[in-house]
Amino acid sequence: MADTHCRADGPDTKDPGCDALNCPPKSPGGEVGIPVIWKEAPKAITNPGWTDWVPVSGPTCLYDAKPEDVLANIAARILNDFRQLPVNPGTLQAQPFPNTLKGGPTNFYATPGQQTFDLTILGQNVHLTATPANYTYTYGDGTKLGPTPLAGYPIPQTQWLTTETRNSHTYTQTGNYPATLTTSFTGTYSVNNGPPLPINGTLDLTTPPTTIHVWKTEKALVADTCEQNPKSWGCPEAGGD
């Protein structure tokens, strides 16, 4: 909670810093802010003893005549504001790309990271943090992985098509497949440098489709190179697929 700093009946009236914090109006004709100290106490205890919330040192300014009302009003709308943020969904990466082979593992991984935003909500400074929590990989062939906390990771080129990761997928048919990544972001917010509070809900973002071209391979023994015989098996002038 936000406890008014230097109130007449408070224990901190003799605090030498009581006159140090000035909260002038943010705009001409606006209301002055209220110096507050952020407190914490266990919810499960009736009439608990409140203590200073250590991560925020000293008083901060809260711009509302009734701080408890503005905090409740921000809490009521914060999920909607969170879902309007321009959060970058990241990209879906595949190895190999854009062409892979039928029957071989294709490694997928995600790139989104934690992002922060500073907004003004109901006249208060609000800091929001969006953190990727879960991922759903849709491979484009009717199968998917997730939701999973696995963001995956890139592997060396020498391991493509031979190493299967926990995010790998094996295509069983040739073709072109639109793969997508859906990332579920969780969020926290803080008001006027107050303690971070969890946002009750998630922001789910899906990337544009990434086309994966799945090919097949054939092997044969040949006597000549394509330079020696342009019509040799497997050469461009030989025709066929």
| 3-class DSSP string for the chain | CEEECCCCCCCCCCCHHHHCCCCCCCCCCCCCCEEEEEEECCCCCCCCCCEECCCCCCCEEECCCCHHHHHHHHHHHHHHHHHCCCCCCCCEEEECCCEEECCCEEEEEECCCCEEEEEEECCEEEEEEEEEEEEEEECCCCCEEEEECCCCCCCCHHHCCCCCCCCCEECCCCEEEEEEEEEEEEEEEEECCCCCEECCCCEEEECCCEEEEEECCCCCCCCCCCCCCCCCCCCHHHCCC
Measured CA to CA, the distance from residue 139 to residue 146 in angstroms comes to 11
Per-residue pLDDT tens digits of the chain, which is 241 residues long: 777 777 655 445 455 556 667 888 888 888 888 788 888 888 788 888 888 877 666 788 877 656 567 788 899 999 999 999 999 999 999 999 999 999 999 999 999 899 999 998 887 889 999 999 999 999 999 999 999 999 999 999 999 988 999 999 999 999 999 999 999 999 999 988 888 999 999 999 999 999 999 998 766 777 788 888 888 777 767 664 4
Measured CA to CA, the distance from residue 42 to residue 52 in angstroms comes to 13
Contact predicate 198/159, CB 8 Å: no
At residue 65, the pLDDT reads 55
